[in-house]
Amino acid sequence: MSLDHLKHAQPAEIQMITRIASGGTSEVWLATHPKTSTPFVLKYATSPANHNPYLAGMFEREFEVSRLLKTHHIDDISPAIAHFDFDEDNHPYLLMEYFPSQSLASLFSELTSWNPMRPILRHLLKTCARIHAAGIVHGDLKPTNILIDNAGNLRLIDFSLSTIHGALHPNHDGPFALGTPWYMSPEQAMHTRMSCATDAYALGIILFEWITGHVPYQGKTIEETLNMHCQAPIPPLVRTSISDLPRDLYTIVPKLMDRNTDTRNDAFRALYALVTQTS
C-alpha cells in the first residue's frame, strides 16, 4: 500500500479508531484521515519530547530505518512509515502502514509442534539476514515485535533502538542498556556495541521461551536480569508441550545464547540450514 498521500498529514485531522497497543512511552492506534479511505497506523509518544531527546530519537530511528529499507528494496519486511513529525505539543508521532496480523507471542500457544513453527522461523531468519546485509541490527527482537498474517507473511516492527552500520541514534549513544531486559544480549547489558550476533542472541531467547514456556533469565529486578545474561549459566532446554523438535535444536539454541559472538553467528547459520533443508 502506498502511503505517499499521508505525507505532512496534520495530527488534528487524524481520527483514531481502535487502540492496537500501548507501552511505557507510546500508543499505537488504527486510524483514518480525510486523505485516504484506507486505515493506517498512528504511533505517538504519550509524553512530549521537550526534555526527553531519547524518546524523540526512538521515533526518528524508526523512520530512518524505514527509509533505508526502501533504499535497499527490502521494504516488504516491515510496515512502511509515511511520515515522522511532532504535534503541536511536541509529541513525536509516526504514520505507517497497517498490517493485519498477530504477534508471534500470541501464536505461541498454537505452535505446539515443529512443523508449523519451521516456516515462521525460516521467514524470520531470512528477514534477519536481509536487514543485516543492509547494515541494520534490530536490537529489540522479541515475540511481540514479530507479526504474522493469515497467509504466513511476516513483518518486523519497532526498529526504534536499532543500529545502522554499527551506530546507534545519537540520542541513544550513552552508558545505558537499550532493549527489553528478558531478550537483551550480554553486550547490550554491558553497554557495548551491538552486531548481527545481538539479534542471534534474541532469537535464541525466543526459541528457548517457545520450547520451555518461559524466558531463561528473569531476576527480581532489571539489574539482576541483565547480570544473569552476562554471568549466569545457560539453563537446560527442557521441553514442555512442544512435539517433534529436531534434535539439533538442543545444540543450536544454547549456542545462540552463548556469550561468544562468533559462536552465535555460527549457530545462526546452523539454524538457517535446519529450517531451509528440504527433508
pLDDT tens digits, 64-114: 999 999 999 998 999 999 889 998 889 999 999 999 999 999 999 999 999
What ranges in 53-195 are assigned the alpha helix state H? 53-71, 104-107, 114-133, 186-189
Determine the average pLDDT of the residues in 245-266.
96
Cell numbers linked to 127: 528477514
User: Would you state the pLDDT for residue 279?
Assistant: 55
pLDDT tens digits, 6-34: 666 667 788 989 999 888 789 999 999 88
Radius of gyration of the chain from Cα atoms? 19
User: Would you state the pLDDT for residue 1?
Assistant: 43
From 172, 174, 20, 152, select the one nearest 97 (Cα to Cα): 20
pTM: 0.94
Q: What is the mean pLDDT of the chain?
A: 92
User: Would you state the pLDDT for residue 175?
Assistant: 80
User: Would you state the pLDDT for residue 37?
Assistant: 76
Q: How confident is the model at residue 124 (pLDDT cuts 50, 70, 90)?
A: very high
User: Would you state the pLDDT for residue 3?
Assistant: 60
Strand order of the β-sheet with 102-103 is: 102-103, 146-148, 154-156
Q: How confident is the model at residue 200 (pLDDT cuts 50, 70, 90)?
A: very high
- Nearest-5° Cα angle at 109, 149 to 101: 15
pLDDT tens digits, 148-189: 999 999 999 999 999 999 999 999 988 888 999 999 999 999
Number of residues in the chain: 279
CATH class of segment(s) 102-276: mainly alpha
Determine the average pLDDT of the residues in 219-223.
96
Segment holding 157, helix H or strand E:
none
Q: Which residues, at least 6 apart from 94, have a Cβ–Cβ distance to it below 8 Å? A: 41, 42, 43, 44, 59, 62, 63, 81, 83, 84
User: Would you state the pLDDT for residue 6?
Assistant: 65
User: Would you state the pLDDT for residue 277?
Assistant: 84
Look up the CATH number of domain 4-96.
Answer: 3.30.200.20
Q: How confident is the model at residue 210 (pLDDT cuts 50, 70, 90)?
A: very high
Half-sphere exposure of 81 (CA within 13 A, CB side): 25
